[in-house]
Amino acid sequence: MKANARQIFAVFLGLLLAAHLILLGSFQLNSADTWWHLKQGELYVTTRSLPEQDPFAFTTAGREWIKYSWLADILFYLAFRAAGIPGLVFLRLLVLLLIALFLYRLLRACNLHPLGAVLLVFVASLALRFRLFIRPEILSFLLLLATVAVLLRLQAACPQTAYLLLPIQMVWTNIHASFVFGFGLPALVLLANLLPTGRAEPGWGHLRLDRVRIRHLAAATVLLPFSSLLNPQGARLLLFPFRQSRMVRLTAFYEWMEIWKLPGIDPAWWEVIIVLGLVLLAFATIAALLLAWEGRFDSVGWGIVLSMGTYALLRNRCVPYFVLSILPFLALAMARLTGHLSVRAPGRPSPRLERIGVLTCLILLSASLVDQSVLNYRVPLGFSVAPNLFPEGAVVFLERHRLDGRVFNSYEFGGYLIWRRWPANQIIIDGRYDSILFDQALLEAHMKTEESPAALNRITEAYEVEVMVLHVHLDRHKPKIDEYPGWARVYWDSVAEVFVRREGRYADLVGAHEYRLTGPAADTGYLAEYRRDLEIWSRAVAELRRAVADNPQNLMAWLGLAQEYRAAGPAAAGQRLEALARAATLSNGAPILARIQAERAEALFQLGRFDEATTAAHTALRMDGKLLLARLLLASVAERRGNWAEARDQLRTILRYVQPDNLEAGDLRRRLEAAEQNARRESGR
């Protein structure tokens, strides 16, 4: 490849990689833990102290509070105070770009070809994809790379370079509990250098240290625990990661699960398994070839595979740490392998390999850009809060009606309620139970409330709770809470429900605001049962109207209203159209939008707005070509306008999908016969 072409492709690949990273890091805030990190940072900044007791949950009174991320919490809060949520998303993006730049330079320092470095940075970004939350963890990735960089530079730098590990470790200890890797990696390099020489070649020779450097590295490794003591908790913080990992119930949360279990939760996790498998396979294959050709192996690289690699299989949140740690050693192996190939396979294969490398990078990066910018609707891009994840409407309801005091909450909502409602409300539990409570009994009791009204009764009475804010899940709370007479639902939307005790402090709210007939069911078909009694049906519709008044962003309530306005007939077509327009705005590109557009077409048709109905029907079919309602509307408009060929084609398509015994099949066939006759008559003129 000529020099000019090489430079052009290098710039182009760099731009593609930058675009990939920008899209990867520019998604909306979607982590429940971000909120309590922000609140903790706010508490530290506003009080200018690190309080001994956690004030946010009423179950943490008198318990030890391990503030393992206080430095990162302050950074996040200051970024939020300066630039709001966009500032936090931009900070995450900046950290991701720094990780990629740092890793690229580290790989190039390992003598890896630029194309190989770009490819490995891309692989690393995929390993990071599911851990790019606005949490202290993202800062720890940078500190891990800094530790690896110091170790790899030690052979050529002055011996005192080893002591750079100490300030890195001190900062890391105050940012995230993954600081234990800062102990392990230097200790692994030291051990590899103390083992008898022979076939072991630490870092393929790049980590083979002389006696002077070994002594300095040994001294730095011994001092690392002492530098870690420079934190608010002292030795207690050093023990925290080990106490945390002993908690059996951690595996109830997906980030602590074994990696092979995750595709059962979400098939998207196959990506992480594939990336991890490819990295392990590449390292093992190249290491086997080098062992066969040289009779040597990388003791440090294999040490990382056997320790961090094994832990990554058992605790999936370790995958990014393992991948970032092993890639420089994979790069060293690849560079060494390239040297062997140039000797063993003469004939200048480099240009051909370069072209293959360029093509591979182009395909992977282009596919990623298409996936993230066009196909990936699961993780919306933007510098705001992801919709329909957090109980925003429920919190507004709590504020409006001053529902202060203790709250029994779903685990996922704890952080957001802390952020928005403390000190007016204290919660029962949140994502910090493993860092503050160390109380698996409480977690067990909390989990049992999802299955048993009696368990819910016991825990709420024991803690004198008057308000509950529960996550909307089809298989959690909903089937049981309706059977429990002591609580009244006074608010619901597509994300959360609010309940109060019927005879508690907020009993007055029950009479005026209880939802007896409606709720956040995913299928609004239950409303059809109320049509048998006009009075009950009118009360149900009134509840739906109150639900959208409580929260205009309540998608399920708007869909329920649209359904019932349809049942009311053409006279309510205008109200139905308004409800569908609201629902379309709130659907955020979800698959349900196609159905909403088809129903909009029907409402517009009833109002005589045929051009708009046609446009809405075509929009629905572009989203889902199998929507028969949209085709039926197009056929109806065509019949009214005498466009019989169009009506014939649409009706034929509909009948291909309709079962012969369908009640409407006969009417559709009669309409098709009429359309065919009229179309033949027109064509014969």
- DSSP per residue over 397-411, as a string? HHHHTT--EEEEE-G
Which of 161-165, 362-366, 519-523, 629-633 is modeled with the greatest confidence? 161-165
Tell whether the model's pLDDT for residue 505 goes beyond 80.
yes
Tell whether the model's pLDDT for residue 480 goes beyond 60.
no
Pairing between strand 467-471 and 405-409? parallel
Residues 107 and 328: beta-carbon distance below 8 Å: yes
Residues 580 and 603: beta-carbon distance below 8 Å: yes
User: Sorting pLDDT into bands at 50, 70 and 90, what band is 588?
Assistant: confident
Give the CA count within 13 Å in the CB-facing half-sphere of 336.
Answer: 23
Report pLDDT for 684.
64
Classify the C-alpha dihedral 414-428-73-20 as positive or negative. negative
Could you say which DSSP state residue 27 is in? B
Q: Quote the mean pLDDT of the chain.
A: 88
Sheet architecture: strand order including 496-501: 425-427, 405-409, 467-471, 496-501, 487-492
d(C-alpha 301, C-alpha 47), whole Å: 46
- Tell me if residue 184 falls in helix, strand or coil: helix
Least confident interval from 149-158, 243-252, 293-302, 349-358:
349-358
Q: What angle do CA 145, 146, 148 make, to 5 degrees?
A: 65
Report pLDDT for 548.
95
Report pLDDT for 96.
96
Tell whether the model's pLDDT for residue 535 goes beyond 90.
yes
Pairing between strand 496-501 and 467-471? antiparallel
Report pLDDT for 377.
57
Q: Say which residue, 37 or 667, is predicted with more confidence.
A: 37
User: Sorting pLDDT into bands at 50, 70 and 90, what band is 114?
Assistant: confident
Least confident interval from 188-192, 314-318, 522-526:
522-526
Report pLDDT for 70.
95
Exposed, middle or buried by CB within 10 Å (0-12, 13-18, 19+), for 203? buried
Q: Say which residue, 360 or 141, is predicted with more confidence.
A: 141
Kindly list the distances between the CA atom of residue 524 and the CA atoms of 241, 286, 476, 535, 564, in Å, as whole numbers in the listed order.
Answer: 46, 57, 18, 19, 9
d(C-alpha 173, C-alpha 416), whole Å: 26
User: Sorting pLDDT into bands at 50, 70 and 90, what band is 509?
Assistant: very high
d(C-alpha 120, C-alpha 125), whole Å: 9
Tell whether the model's pLDDT for residue 647 goes beyond 60.
yes
Which of 26-40, 367-381, 647-661 is modeled with the greatest confidence? 26-40
Residue 375: both structure tokens together: 């196909």
Residues 494 and 549: beta-carbon distance below 8 Å: no
Percent of the chain scored above 70 by pLDDT? 93
Report pLDDT for 482.
60
d(C-alpha 343, C-alpha 419), whole Å: 62
Residues 325 and 106: beta-carbon distance below 8 Å: no
d(C-alpha 262, C-alpha 255), whole Å: 9
Report pLDDT for 445.
85
Tell whether the model's pLDDT for residue 45 goes beyond 60.
yes
Residue 165: both structure tokens together: 């590990």
* Of 497, 278, 530, nearest in space to 395 by CA: 497
Tell whether the model's pLDDT for residue 245 goes beyond 90.
no
Measure CA of the first residue to CA of the last residue in the chain; give whole Å: 67
Kindly report each contact of residues 546-553 with a partner whose C-beta sits within 8 Å and lies 24 or more positions away, as own/partner. 546/513, 546/515, 547/492, 547/493, 547/515, 547/518, 548/582, 550/393, 550/397, 550/491, 550/493, 551/393, 551/396, 551/397, 551/491, 551/493, 552/582, 553/387, 553/392, 553/393, 553/493, 553/586
Report pLDDT for 380.
80
Tell whether the model's pLDDT for residue 1 goes beyond 60.
no
Percent of the chain scored above 90 by pLDDT? 56
What DSSP string describes 612-672?
Answer: HHHHHHHHHHHH-TT-HHHHHHHHHHHHHHT-HHHHHHHHHHHHHHS-TT-TTHHHHHHHH
Report pLDDT for 306.
95
Kindly list the distances between the CA atom of residue 204 and the CA atoms of 171, 218, 221, in Å, as whole numbers in the listed order.
Answer: 30, 20, 21
Kindly list the distances between the CA atom of residue 108 and the CA atoms of 104, 116, 299, 364, in Å, as whole numbers in the listed order.
Answer: 6, 9, 21, 20
Q: Residues 56-80: pLDDT tens digits?
A: 999 887 788 888 899 999 999 999 9
Question: Who's near 244: CB < 8 A, 6+ residues apart?
Answer: 177, 250, 434, 435
What are 450's strand-pairing partners?
Answer: none
Q: In the chain, what are the helix, strand and coil shares in percent, each to the nearest 5?
A: 70, 5, 25
Least confident interval from 7-11, 98-102, 234-238:
7-11
- Tell me if residue 424 falls in helix, strand or coil: coil
Residues 498 and 397: beta-carbon distance below 8 Å: yes
Residues 485 and 453: beta-carbon distance below 8 Å: no
User: Sorting pLDDT into bands at 50, 70 and 90, what band is 249?
Assistant: confident
Least confident interval from 130-139, 232-241, 427-436, 644-653:
427-436
Tell whether the model's pLDDT for residue 474 goes beyond 50.
no
Q: Residues 380-435: pLDDT tens digits?
A: 888 999 888 999 999 999 999 999 999 999 989 999 999 999 999 999 988 776 66
Residue 356: both structure tokens together: 């293959």
Residues 524 and 470: beta-carbon distance below 8 Å: no
User: Sorting pLDDT into bands at 50, 70 and 90, what band is 169?
Assistant: very high
Report pLDDT for 475.
46
Tell whether the model's pLDDT for residue 347 goes beyond 70.
no
Report pLDDT for 477.
45
* Of 80, 86, 88, nearest in space to 132 by CA: 88
Report pLDDT for 504.
87
